[in-house]
Structure 1
Amino acid sequence: MKALLRKVGFMTLAIPMFLMGSVTGASAAEDGYHEEEKTIQYWCDSVVDFQMPVTIKATVPDSVEPGGQVMFLNSTATVTLPENPAVNVLRGFPYYADSITGEVTKFNISSQNEASTINVASTPIQIPKTTVPSSGSMTFTVPGNVGIDAGPFTAGQSGNLTITAGDIDTTVHPESFLGGIIPINASCSPLVGEDTVLTTVPIVED
């Protein structure tokens, strides 16, 4: 369950997905940009361990100049918690949760051309209040309203700037008729062998 909640944090994260900058109002891709979407399977250590998919979406540039910087625009992460064991844990003793809130406190995004890692959740990203269903899995998107701009990631002098997703930490707050419950922490990592590439941006001389 410990894993479960970490993943929840992450999923939430999704958020995570690249959620590191300021909130953006951008919606559709503009000239020179396009939308990317990637689903990555994560394993979470929590009060119970579980596997969950995290779908990361963002608007990214078509290319970048040598030494230039790349931002991910309107980034979000959508997480689906499996009914067994994650959601069942929230429904049962001692939580009896009818909804959850929480925050993502770590979502590492790395660049592979000029090596660097950014925790886009260094300022915690809120998990929106989400109803715990009476049956089935549970899905939520982080952040809950509009996406976040994440970065910057600096390009090298040639080749491609490759961006990958890494570890996610979250804290979930179960809510029930009993009132506030002890928070659940979860630490999540991509499954071994999982393709974690979020996007590859060509480095092109203008």
Structure 2
Amino acid sequence: MSISEHIKKYHEILPDSVILVAVSKTKPVSDLQEAYDAGQRDFGENKIQEMTEKQEQLPQDIKWHMIGHVQTNKVKYMAPYVSLIHAVDRLKLVKEINRQAENNNRTINILLQVKIAQEETKFGMPLDQAENFLQNNTIANYPNVRLKGLMGMASFTENKEQIAEEFRSIKKLYDRFYTKYEFDTLSTGMSGDYSIAIKHGSTMVRIGSAIFGSR
């Protein structure tokens, strides 16, 4: 199947309540253009420099999602245009996003990344820290940042019950603070586990290799 055929397939099979983020990291602009021409508007990248280079070459109505770990000194490069920053996992980063958003006279949408996987290599706030962050309304001190919801990555395992349990844990936290923050985005699920994520409340899935092929 071509890229455009994959895009059309996911647009057909995903519920209307779930947004598809096409993870286009390392892929050439021509691949993104093909996906765009098939109707895709949300694209995910994990390196700010690469995303910025693509943003300058592609249609301006694309919504750019920063899904990778973010270095604070790189925030300024994406602040003028980024649509949603998924991997916000520390207060220092919130402060810098707020500062750069203010410099660009805009409010930047973010997700709090919660560590639900068992792998040490995965980033994110531990569940208890995330709960404290939300309970204390820490985000209220940063008026140029809008907290839209939570993001999480499940363990890389064949154990579907473990994956489901990890998605349940972040959905429980999401539901606790859903009303307080008017959340609308739970970004969980990737190419291998998106169907499990959707069963457990995901409103946004990040799919890359199943659309663009292996990297």
TM class by shorter-chain length? Answer: under 0.3
Q: TM-score w.r.t. structure 1 length?
A: 0.21
Whose helix proportion is higher, 1 or 2? 2
Whose strand proportion is higher, 1 or 2? 1
Q: TM-score w.r.t. structure 2 length?
A: 0.21
Between 1 and 2, higher relative CO (CA 8 Å, sep ≥ 6) is seen in 1
